[in-house]
Structure 1
Amino acid sequence: MTTNQRVYDRRAVAAWSLYDFANSAFTTLVVTFVYATFFTVGIAPNEIEGTSLWSLGVTLTGLVVALLSPYAGAIADRGGYRKRFLLLCTVVCILATAVLYFPVKGQVVFALTTFIVANIAFEMANVFYNAFLPDLAPQSLIGRISGYGWALGYVGGLLCLVVALFVFVNPETPPFGLSKATAAHIRATNLLVAAWFAVFSIPLFLWVRDPKKAPLPPGAGLLREANRQLVNTFHEVRRFRQVFRLLLARLIYNDGLVTIFAFGGIYAAGTFGFTTQEIIVFGIVLNVAAGLGAWAFGFLDDRFGGKTTILISLAGLTAASLLAVLTTSRTGLWAAGILIGLLAGPNQSASRSLLGRFVPPGLENEFYGFFAFSGKLTAFLGPFLLGRLTGLFESQRLGVSSVLLFFIVGGLLLLRVNEREGIAVAGRPTDVAPLAAEENSP
């Protein structure tokens, strides 16, 4: 083995990928298809007001995560707290998701506040989870490994949706004495998500290890080190200019994705009359498409690069979103939804892996903190604009049309990214040698 050759632990990679399988139940059922729709029609006074309120919740989440993520990432880098911070955020998200079972019709503040807490914890957990990728994946396989995680995540979301549909939503007599009159069978899907997330996240905490860090003073000393690291990164932004360009582009195009994820089910229900059961089936099909897309495009990512993969996905997402806005038939919405599913996973996976190629060793948490920052700083704009347009014109169709702007502008900004330069500046090793789990076990 050459001195520059990189080994990787397959068991750790599998455990890391399984966390995507675990946490995707939250985004699929709570954020996108089931609870978001239930909130607008089952808790809020009406669908229009419910859509505006839900957009407010997503907006507040984005602002908080944007402010916290770079600083929390810097603290984790300096103190070696990545895994502990990930565990804390995971536990908070799981507990808050379970609490979402309790709000009923009219309890808007209770429901929305609990969702915001769960969503903030979920997004912060992803900062530390994503930061493991450059340490676990060799450069030559980082696109595929990132894609495997996203694909497995969509499988997890799909399977959890199937369980929710056939165990809680569809039966004439819901299990465990759940009452349809109070929508307890719908609210109970939050308990399913909490249990799913808890069980399938365990392997990561058993088999993925924190990179070793030199001991640092706790408390104020660690905060000073984190502040110093953040200041140094800002001063060196010229050297990491490709990271800056990537994050600037993602700042925009990710707004479109956030908006689609948050309001896809709401749009299907409000404009096309989808029932809860139909929305779940819609979500199942989209998750199948997304899993296939994330898996297949991982190979494209490693072959042609992350930038090319993202640009292809943005072109397709723009076309699919335009179809969703213009169509008046359910068939057209189904076609648009499947295409969005096929391309949303590759967009997210390739964005994550492209940053992984650009991250200097030792700064993973901080850079993925900025990655979350870029995904959240203006993420309120998409939901905010959709909510305002929907309320102003009393039309969800006009509100959804706002995502086109984000995909087009984000793609134009991405054209300025020089992938070769970004990889060269990072200086990460590129060779790869697989390592059996037993050779690298604690």
Structure 2
Amino acid sequence: MTAPSPTPARSSGADDRVVPRRRIIAWALWDWGGASFNAVVTTFVFTVYLTGNAVNHPFGDEAFVSAQLGWTLGVAGLIVALLAPVTGQRSDTSGNRKLWLGVNTYIVVAIIAGLFFVQAAPEYLWLGLLLLAAGSVFFQFAEVNYNAMLSSVSNRRTIGKVSGFGWSMGYFGGIVLLLIVYFGFIHPDVGLFGVTSENGLSVRVSMLIAAVWFAIFALPVLISVPELEPHGSAARPRVSFFASYARLGRDIAGLWRTNRHTVYFLIASAVFRDGLTGVFTFGGVLAAGTFGFSASEVIIFAIAANVTAGVSTVIVGRLDDRVGPKPVIVVALIGLVICGSAVFFLHDAGKGAFWVFGLALCLFVGPAQSASRSFLGRVIPAGREGEIFGLYATTGKAATFLAPAAFALFVTLGGAQYWGILGIVLVLLVGLLVLLPVSAKQKQLSD
């Protein structure tokens, strides 16, 4: 890790800094590497290993393990919600944002590697759950500092494009790594280096591959992207950890008084971002349970979905800089509501209907996520990025129950799995309605 070197501060006026392309690529490679945790650990491989499949439940009853997984990740989300704004604020004031990105990232790397020791037996369940929860906490802490560095690799005219590029790299990185671990270790009876599925070895070795993947691709941002020099609000004297909460409370009150629409946006984005997460979280479940996809077909669809989301995010990121992030988010949410409703009404139409409208959903997910990040990035004053993106993480975690609860409620009321689609659509619609009154042209927050 190189010593911090100052970067010109952003101003509320024109920002014409030219950021070297290699610096942007170095920053985005962290997203590429982070797919090891998002795609391989928490979505498609390790959590599936814990909860089992239709014929194999090595860690215990599927309902029990799934419930414990939910509770454990819920506690992890609560920890992030309570700590993220303060840890972000303190990295701002210390001028060590990149240092803390590195520390939190390599803690996650160590945790992913530690998953290798979770053997396929009930007595290892809690080791797996605790490591998964700890990884979730530290990954979110790292992501706060990573998002805060968006200002280091973009200017006012390119922030949408750069944010979209980074987000798309996460999708593409997930595709490549999933292909490596699936066809290299998980799918074959005997994989690379003679690895088999006995005692969960194929999944456990995949965790080592994922750890190495993240460790390598996290390095460029730590080497090539300079640290922002503390100034403005970041030059405020450091206070104790608990006094940071009092400062945070004053800052939020000031934010409410001076730029209420930013608070409204944080609330709206918390709702619709949870709906966006729900699209991917329950997409595979619906593909298999409602539309009859096999396990292999689900993985093929997941790869196609990530390609679709990644490409659309790159393309729409350029539009973000031309028309602004709010129109991008609004159009994306409208598209998601329409396509989600189509999936519901065509639940008896077979796999073809899900391929068409499921992939159409993915066209809108990435752009909405990326534009949400760039919307906030445009109004944060230099030196408060970590704090405000910490609030962004907190509000997001405060709403993480919405999509799962709505999905479960509608399944219960409707008596069939496909009714859960309406629950996710409802969350997206509420997020859209809360977003509509938010001013599209906001003044930059004051230092």
Q: Which residue, 206, 214, 217 being the options, matches 1:200?
A: 217
How far the C-alpha of 1:268 sits from its partner, in A, is 3.4
Q: What is the CA deviation profile of residues 11-46 of structure 1, one whole-angstrom value per residue up to 9, with x for unaligned ones? A: 222211111111023212222222333332245545
Answer yes or no: is 1:167 the counterpart of 2:184: yes
Distance 1:93 1:360, change over 3 A: same
Distance 1:117 1:390, change over 3 A: farther
How far the C-alpha of 1:263 sits from its partner, in A, is 3.5
C-alpha separation in 2, matches of 1:366 and 1:150: 21
Contact residue 56 and residue 383 of structure 1 kept, 8 A: no
Partner of 2:312: 293
Partner of 1:432: none
Answer yes or no: is 1:374 the counterpart of 2:385: no
Partner of 1:354: 375
C-alpha separation in 2, matches of 1:261 and 1:103: 27
- Structure 2: state its 5+ residue gaps: 1-10
Partner of 1:433: none
Distance 1:427 1:228, change over 3 A: closer
Residue 92 of structure 2 aligns to which amino acid in structure 1? D
C-alpha separation in 1, matches of 2:286 and 2:50: 13
C-alpha separation in 2, matches of 1:20 and 1:202: 12
Partner of 1:239: 258
Residue 395 of structure 2 aligns to which amino acid in structure 1? S
Distance 1:212 1:227, change over 3 A: farther
Q: What SS is found at the alignment partner of 2:199?
A: coil
Contact residue 163 and residue 371 of structure 2 kept, 8 A: yes
Partner of 1:16: 27
Partner of 1:32: 43
- Structure 1: state its 5+ residue gaps: 429-442
Residue 330 of structure 2 aligns to which amino acid in structure 1? L
Distance 1:372 1:333, change over 3 A: same
How far the C-alpha of 1:248 sits from its partner, in A, is 0.9
C-alpha separation in 1, matches of 2:288 and 2:64: 14
Q: What SS is found at the alignment partner of 1:188?
A: helix
Deviates more, 1:270-279 or 1:180-189: 270-279
Contact residue 196 and residue 202 of structure 2 kept, 8 A: yes
TM-score by length of 2: 0.86
Contact residue 142 and residue 353 of structure 1 kept, 8 A: yes
Distance 1:18 1:95, change over 3 A: same
Contact residue 31 and residue 261 of structure 1 kept, 8 A: no
Counting only pairs closer than 5 Å after superposition, residues 109-120 of structure 1 correspond to structure 2 as 109-120=126-137
What's the RMSD between the two structures over aligned residues?
Answer: 2.8
Q: Which residue, 4, 17, 27 being the options, matches 1:7?
A: 17
Partner of 1:265: 284
How far the C-alpha of 1:226 sits from its partner, in A, is 6.7
Partner of 1:434: none
Partner of 1:62: 77
Q: Which residue, 289, 303, 328 being the options, matches 1:309?
A: 328
C-alpha separation in 2, matches of 1:399 and 1:199: 39
C-alpha separation in 2, matches of 1:256 and 1:4: 35
Q: Which residue, 423, 429, 436 being the options, matches 1:415?
A: 436
C-alpha separation in 2, matches of 1:244 and 1:267: 34
Q: What SS is found at the alignment partner of 1:8?
A: coil
Deviates more, 1:43-52 or 1:410-419: 43-52
**How many residues are aligned here?**
425
C-alpha separation in 2, matches of 1:37 and 1:264: 14
Deviates more, 1:39-48 or 1:284-293: 39-48
Q: What SS is found at the alignment partner of 2:257?
A: coil
Distance 1:290 1:201, change over 3 A: same
Partner of 1:156: 173
Residue 279 of structure 2 aligns to which amino acid in structure 1? I
Contact residue 402 and residue 427 of structure 2 kept, 8 A: no
Partner of 1:337: 358
| Greater RCO, CA 8 A, separation 6+ | 1
C-alpha separation in 1, matches of 2:61 and 2:148: 40
How far the C-alpha of 1:388 sits from its partner, in A, is 6.5
Partner of 1:86: 101
Residue 286 of structure 1 aligns to which amino acid in structure 2? A
Residue 104 of structure 1 aligns to which amino acid in structure 2? A
Answer yes or no: is 1:186 the counterpart of 2:198: no
Deviates more, 1:27-36 or 1:321-330: 321-330
Partner of 2:162: 145
Deviates more, 1:275-284 or 1:147-156: 275-284
TM-score by length of 1: 0.87
Contact residue 272 and residue 428 of structure 2 kept, 8 A: yes
C-alpha separation in 2, matches of 1:194 and 1:391: 39
Deviates more, 1:305-314 or 1:97-106: 97-106
